[in-house]
Chain A
Amino acid sequence: MSGMTIASPGGLGRQQIADRLAQAFEDGWIVNLGVGMPTLCSNTPIGDRGIIYHAENGVIGYGGVLADGEEDLHLVNAGGQHVSLNPGAAIVNHADSFAIIRSGRIDVTVLGIYEVAANGDFANWKVAGAKGGGIGGAMDLAACAKRVFVILEHTTRDGKPRLLRHCALPVTARGVVTLVATNLGLFEPAGEAFRLREIAPGVTVDQIRAATGAEVIVAENLQVIQVLAG
């Protein structure tokens, strides 16, 4: 849950990144959460704001991941995790789930990704040198949701930047990303650079510049990310 992990010199923990992004959801939004870190957003206590979580497998209106022994074996989210259902939930088949997506009814999709570029392109389905990949629902979501937010560790395990001037990997969609949350901060792709809107506690702008593969513009009213209390 939120606040369980303490901010390290490397910035925010995984749940804390998700918490920050979840606070960017607006009242009444229909929110699709992708596999991996995005699913952590449904754990964030954001109060009764009328947000509906949509999973690509046709589960509409789910809540947090359930504890051991409380799972419903017939019910999973996009990441295969057993989740709860909120009052007013509905189940549809896969074609109808993607009809909801393709027809533009998803206010935001949150996707876990490999790379994002300053021009809003992103890559999350195929790694370098592979013949195949894992597309899942990401291409449909990226092409059709009203907004695309992405969530990722700022660098690879080898310390290479994942926020780039141009994507090196095959893209999932072009020019669609509007908000990027990493362990180091909250960014907007601004064409040829990333605009740093909020910075993680204990992290410096120089540290971010050194870890980013594109120019970083610091917003005039730069804020420090408020970490949720546990």
Chain B
Amino acid sequence: MAQRTKEIANFADAVRDIPDGSVIAFGGFAYPGTPFNLIQALADQGAKNLTLVANSTGGAAQPRLPDIGLLVERGQVRKVICAFTAATRASDVLPFTKYYESGEVDAELVPQGTLAERLRAAGAGIPAFYTPTAVGTELAEGRETRMFNGREYLIEYALPVDFAFVSAIRADTMGNLQYRRSQRNFNPVMAMAANLTIAEVEQDILPAGAIDPDEVHTSGIFVQRVVKIPPAPIGIWPGKRAPRAGAKS
């Protein structure tokens, strides 16, 4: 039997069936690997009461791009699980911070490596693990720790998600993905952690066999839908990141 293609014609179709209350992971670290087109489509689709998993809460990009901050601003989000609810530079203010500080949106702040490993664990069939990260900090208060070889470790639980939105340079109709440079970041582990992964892809979707098997970064087993990003202005193609206002370096 011939394989059905995983290619979806457009972003609206790719996100149409995402229900209210879903838990969705979003790849990306700064611009590279961020699924801006899928986020815009989800904002237009309007699903509500969402839990988002991402490295950061967005909003720092100028001019603004549809990062997950857009979903927060549109009232679609209940909670964000992330490594930043505020900027690292105390004088920078992220748009998300006011939603969190006022209690409008909940957040779970997770060290970045722990976030990546919780996703990987979920995708690898491992329910929990121990890490030395965050031991002795406010994040470890009241939580289970255990000694191994004389060192204290903190328990962390797998983080399975309903959907992952990822961004890649290239895909085939089987859903096999390739990333370019730092586009890779969280995308492979988020695809692993999800029940259903949707990838936005920069280049034309290739026929099965066109990507060398040795060069596949994420197996199509982890990917259910792929969508080619159309040319601008319909498709969203981030340009160069503008320097931060007042940046001294």
Contacts and interface: CB of A to CB of B under 8 A. Distances in A.
A163 B179 CA distance: 42
Interface string A2-40: 000000000000110000000000000000000111011
A58 interface: yes
A135 B249 contact: no
B112 A132 contact: no
Contact of B185 (A35, A93, A143, A172): A93
B200 interface: no
Given A93-B187, A132-B85, A143 B97 contact: no
B134 A76 contact: no
Given A39-B249, A173-B137, A74 B88 contact: no
Interface residues of A, number: 53
Contacts, number: 166
A130 B86 contact: yes
Interface string B181-211: 1111111110000000000000000000000
Contacts of A56: 112-113
A93 B166 CA distance: 13
Contacts of A40: 249
A136 B113 CA distance: 8
A132 B100 contact: yes
Interface string B84-105: 1111111000000100110000
Interface stretch (B9-17, B40-48, B63-71, B235-243): B235-243
Given A57-B182, A73-B238, A76-B32, A98 B117 contact: yes
B85 A134 contact: yes
A140 interface: yes
A121 B249 CA distance: 27
Contacts of B181: 59, 72, 74-75, 91
* Max count, chain A CB within 10 A of own CB: residue among B183, B185, B188: B185
A80 B62 CA distance: 13
A82 interface: yes
30 contacts: A14-B248, A73-B238, A74-B180, A74-B181, A76-B29, A76-B32, A82-B240, A93-B187, A94-B184, A94-B185, A95-B117, A98-B112, A98-B113, A102-B131, A127-B86, A131-B100, A132-B100, A132-B101, A132-B109, A133-B84, A135-B83, A136-B88, A137-B111, A137-B112, A139-B111, A139-B139, A140-B111, A140-B113, A144-B133, A173-B137
